[in-house]
Amino acid sequence: MLTTLTHHVLCLIIIITIFVPLISSTYMNSCRSFCGNITIDYPFALGYGCGHPGFKDLLHCINNVLMFHISSGSYRVLDIDYAYQALTLQEPNMSTCDTLVLGGQGNGFTVEPWRAPYMNPAPENVFMLIGCSAMSPLFQGFPGKHLPCKNVSGMGCEEYYGCRAWDGLGHNRLGSGYFGSGPPVCCAVPYEAIKSINLTKLECEGYSSAYSLAPIRLNGPSSWAYGIRVKFWVKESEEFCGACEATGGACGYGLDGIKQICMCGNSNSTSNCDSVSLSSKTRPMIVEIIAGTYCPFWFDLY
Q: Tell me how far apart the alpha carbons of residues 207 and 226 are, in angstroms, rounded to a whole number.
A: 11
> What is residue 34's predicted lDDT score, i.e. its pLDDT?
92
Q: Tell me how far apart the alpha carbons of residues 12 and 299 are, in angstroms, rounded to a whole number.
A: 14
> What is residue 172's predicted lDDT score, i.e. its pLDDT?
46
> What is residue 170's predicted lDDT score, i.e. its pLDDT?
55
pLDDT of 173 strictly over 60: no
**Taking all residues of the chain, what is their mean pLDDT, rounded to a whole number?**
78
pLDDT band at 284 (very low <50, low <70, confident <90, very high): very low
Which whole number is the average pLDDT over 69-86?
A: 94
Please calculate the CA angle 67-68-72 and round it to the nearest 5 degrees: 125
Q: Tell me how far apart the alpha carbons of residues 164 and 261 are, in angstroms, rounded to a whole number.
A: 52
pLDDT band at 109 (very low <50, low <70, confident <90, very high): very high
Which whole number is the average pLDDT over 170-197?
A: 71
How many CB atoms neighbour CB 240 within 10 A?
A: 18
> What is residue 235's predicted lDDT score, i.e. its pLDDT?
73
Q: What is the chain written as a DSSP string?
A: ---HHHHHHHHHHHIIIIIHHHHHHHHS-TT-EEETTEEE-TT--SSTTBS-GGGTT-EEEETTEEEEEETTEEEEEEEEETTTTEEEEE-TT-B-SS----SS----B---TTTTTTEEE-TTEEEEEES--TTSGGGTTTTSS--S---BTTB-HHHHTTSGGGTTT-GGGGS--STTTS--SEEEEEHHHHS-B-HHHHT-SEEEEEE--SSS--SSGGGSEESEEEEE--GGGHHHHHHHHHTT-EEEE-TTSSSEEEEETTEEESS-GGGGHHHHHHHHHHHHHHHHHH-TTHHHH-
Q: Tell me how far apart the alpha carbons of residues 184 and 44 are, in angstroms, rounded to a whole number.
A: 39
For the segment 122-167, what is each residue's pLDDT rounded down to a tens digit?
998 999 999 999 888 888 765 555 667 888 888 999 999 999 999 8
Which whole number is the average pLDDT over 67-95?
A: 94
pLDDT band at 271 (very low <50, low <70, confident <90, very high): confident
